[in-house]
């Protein structure tokens, strides 16, 4: 297999690294036969990265834009140096190599591979962007390398919803994969706990409920609780600070009709320091899926060991075969889920 399948021909630093872990990518050189050039219209920053940039810039859209432009200029990709995460982009294919497969010139696409592995150069960020949404209108170009995954924009959904859904479409697919298999002790999962109430959480909650699995969501505010319940996203919603392990555990137990912890916990928050909360809120021999890019995985492993907890600990990858169409189908099927995304 040619190394260009992995996009290593675009790595400038360190040579030999794969694009996601590389310090700098080449987003300038002409495309090869196996690549395509995309005129970028918008970036959708992942929640952890957006939250960090917004807090560091104290909400100033001008300063946030400057940070994004500086990161991309320095790295040839959008990879937040603090969170290590990126997001996805939407744009139009303007040039395609003879051997590029899956899209043609004029197709409008959303990338399904992280911006942390996508060669990108930006000219500007729209002055109309207010810094309050992770969807950032830009002028720039990106390279789809050989093997890059992406989806064409469907005609039946607003682009804003499509972009938001596809940014996190790996979460519900991975959650279903875990929920459909027995846990360590052979007990079939019957209850899912989700920390966080945003995009990935809502998709995962609805997909789990479609399986007949009870879903409890933990959010930090009463307003978020009311919004989730109003749109029929979860069976129950607990208000708690997920960075406080013991208080969250108490409230999750209080919400349980059988006074038991859930079989599986899915972490979808955009803040750090919830690793141990997920551990103590999951029943023994259950499973925890960390889908948050704010997770410190050494803290997860060492915390489980220190607490003597026997759990399946799963890293949430953004890719599961068929994840994009499955997530879009959820939004098409459930009016409440669609209205939830429209409200974001």
pLDDT tens-place string over residues 45-95: 998 899 999 999 999 999 999 999 999 999 999 999 999 999 999 999 999
198 and 145 in a common domain = no
131: helix, coil or strand? Answer: coil
88 and 57 in a common domain = yes
pTM of the model: 0.84
Backbone angles phi, psi at 183, to 5 degrees: -75, -175
230 and 191 in a common domain = yes
Please say if the pLDDT value at position 268 is more than 60.
yes
**Domain-located, residue 235:** yes
**Domain-located, residue 294:** yes
313 and 191 in a common domain = yes
**Domain-located, residue 159:** no
Tokens of 208: 């789990």
How confident is the model over 85-142, as pLDDT tens digits? 999 999 999 999 999 988 999 999 999 989 999 999 999 999 999 999 999 999 999 9
Number of domain units in the chain = 2
Residue 320 belongs to domain spanning: 170-343
Tell me what percent of the residues of the chain surpass a pLDDT of 70: 97
DSSP for 5-73, written as a single string: GGTGGGEEESTTS-TTT-SEE--SSPP-TT-EEEEEEEEEE-HHHHHHHHHHTTT-HHHHHHHHHHHHH
Please say if the pLDDT value at position 2 is more than 50.
yes
89 and 142 in a common domain = yes
CB 301 within 8 A of CB 326: no
Please say if the pLDDT value at position 294 is more than 90.
no
CA distances for 179 relative to 102, 158, 206, 208, angstroms: 31, 30, 13, 8
Mean pLDDT lowest among 149-153, 202-206, 334-338: 149-153
74: helix, coil or strand? Answer: helix
How confident is the model over 162-187, as pLDDT tens digits? 988 998 999 999 999 999 886 556 77
Give the number of other CB atoms < 10 A from CB of residue 308. 7
Please say if the pLDDT value at position 1 is more than 50.
no
Identify the pLDDT of residue 172: 95
- Alpha-carbon distance of 137 to 125, in angstroms, equals 6
Identify the pLDDT of residue 185: 67
**Domain-located, residue 162:** no
What's the whole-number mean pLDDT along residues 18-34? 95
**Domain-located, residue 101:** yes
Identify the pLDDT of residue 3: 55
Largest CA distance in the chain: 61
- CATH number of the domain at 328, please: 3.40.50.720
CB 269 within 8 A of CB 294: yes
**Domain-located, residue 37:** yes
240 and 149 in a common domain = no
């Amino acid at each position: 297999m040619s190394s260009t399948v992995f996009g290593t021909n675009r790595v400038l630093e360190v040579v030999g690294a794969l694009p996601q872990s590389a310090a700098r990518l080449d987003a300038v050189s002409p495309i090869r036969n196996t690549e395509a050039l995309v005129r970028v219209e918008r970036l959708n920053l992942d929640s952890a990265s957006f939250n960090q940039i917004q807090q560091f810039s104290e909400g100033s859209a001008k300063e946030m834009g400057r940070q994004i432009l500086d990161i991309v200029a320095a790295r040839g990709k959008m990879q937040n140096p603090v969170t290590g995460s990126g997001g996805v982009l939407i744009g139009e294919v303007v040039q395609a190599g003879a051997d590029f497969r899956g899209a043609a010139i004029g197709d409008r696409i959303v990338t399904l591979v992280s911006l942390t592995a996508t060669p990108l150069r930006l000219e500007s960020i729209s002055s109309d962007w207010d810094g309050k949404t992770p969807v950032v209108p830009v002028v720039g170009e990106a390279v789809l390398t050989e093997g890059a995954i992406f989806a064409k924009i469907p005609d039946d959904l607003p682009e804003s919803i499509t972009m938001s859904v596809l940014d996190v479409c790996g979460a519900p697919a991975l959650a279903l994969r875990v929920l459909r298999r027995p846990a360590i002790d052979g007990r079939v999962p019957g209850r899912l706990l989700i920390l966080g109430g945003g995009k990935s959480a809502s998709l995962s909650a609805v997909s789990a409920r479609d399986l007949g699995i009870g879903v409890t969501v933990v959010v930090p505010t009463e307003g978020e609780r009311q919004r989730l319940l109003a749109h029929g996203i979860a069976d129950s919603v607990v208000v708690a600070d997920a960075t406080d392990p013991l208080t969250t555990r108490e409230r999750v137990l209080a919400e349980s009709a059988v006074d038991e912890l859930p079989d599986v916990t899915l972490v979808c928050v955009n803040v750090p320091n919830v690793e141990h909360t997920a551990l103590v809120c999951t029943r023994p021999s259950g499973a925890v899926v960390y889908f948050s890019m704010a997770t410190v995985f050494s803290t997860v492993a060492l915390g489980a060991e220190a607490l003597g907890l026997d759990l399946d600990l799963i890293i949430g990858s953004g890719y599961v075969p068929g994840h994009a169409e499955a997530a879009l189908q959820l939004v098409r099927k459930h009016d409440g889920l669609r209205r939830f995304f429209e409200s974001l």
